[in-house]
Amino acid sequence: MNSPEIRLSFRAIATAQCVATILAATLWWCGAFLGGFGMAVAVTGAAESGVLLVTSLIVLVLFSPEKKRPIATVATLWSATSFMRFIVALIGSTLLYYVAQFGLRPLMFSFLLTAVFLLIAETKVLSNSLSELCNTTNDNE
């Protein structure tokens, strides 16, 4: 028995990543001003979201989601890709900390906020893709 294969939509994942990071940056920006933390904290959070977005899109291109792969392989690769993406984003964040002299706490909390939004958005897209495959497979039987 062959394992079913799946192709993921590059456009859907990239859109989810963009929306998630923009939403996290906007939420951070508004929270920084409404909380009275000032412009420096707002810029720090937005920069961190930008680092995560750029890193996510580069890793997505390297992952090449539109290549047809067995489902088990996709799940394993996506987990490894997510792990590597967050490691690379942490390295970028460390550079922001040392080079741009951004505060550590705003970088850390903005990173966590954006990472959570990214994981939720990507999980939604991936689960929709898997549900579509499951429905297609069940309809063909």
pLDDT per position as a tens digit, 43-72: 999 999 999 999 999 999 999 999 999 988
CA distances from 18 to 81, 93, 117, 139 (A): 17, 18, 10, 33
pLDDT at 1: 60
pLDDT at 136: 74
- Whether residue 121 is predicted with pLDDT greater than 90 in this model: the reply is yes
Question: How does residue 140 score in pLDDT terms, banded at 50, 70 and 90?
Answer: low
DSSP character at residue 100: S
Q: How much is the mean pLDDT over the chain?
A: 89
**Crossing angle of the two packed helices 39-63 and 104-140, in degrees rounded to 10:** 40
Average pLDDT over residues 11-18: 96
Beta carbons within 8 Å of 32's beta carbon, 6+ residues apart: 38, 39, 41, 42, 45, 106
Average pLDDT over residues 16-29: 96
**Bridge partner residues of 69 (DSSP):** 6
The tokens of 63 are what? Answer: 């992952």
Q: How far is CA 104 from the centre of its chain?
A: 21
pLDDT per position as a tens digit, 83-100: 999 999 989 888 888 887
pLDDT at 138: 66
User: Is the Cβ–Cβ distance between 133 and 6 less than 8 Å?
Assistant: yes
